[in-house]
């Protein structure tokens, strides 16, 4: 009878490496997903701040133009 223990250990090693690769892929994909969510949240925050500043500038421009129109009259 032949000794197949090296075959079992080889199969066990390959299975362990395959599981490690699967774990790494799952971990990496979840890390990338989390990073993408954080970047989207940051972008929404900055866009909201930009919109507030844009509205502020529009209001100030409107006030200045109205004031200048009053000065000409």
Q: Encoding tokens for residue 17?
A: 């490496």
pLDDT tens string 31-45: 999 999 999 999 999
Mean pLDDT across the chain:
93
Q: How far is Cα 20 from Cα 18, in angstroms, rounded to an integer?
A: 5
The phi-psi region of residue 47 (left if phi > 0; otherwise alpha if psi is between -120 and 50; otherwise beta) is alpha
pTM over 0.85: no
């Amino acid at each position: 009878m032949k000794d197949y223990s090296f075959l079992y250990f080889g199969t066990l090693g390959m299975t362990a490496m395959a599981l490690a690769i699967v774990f790494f892929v799952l971990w990496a994909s979840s890390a990338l997903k989390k990073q993408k969510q954080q970047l989207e949240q940051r972008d929404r925050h900055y866009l909201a701040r930009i919109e507030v500043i844009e509205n502020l500038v529009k209001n100030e421009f409107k006030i200045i133009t109205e004031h200048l129109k009053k000065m000409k009259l």
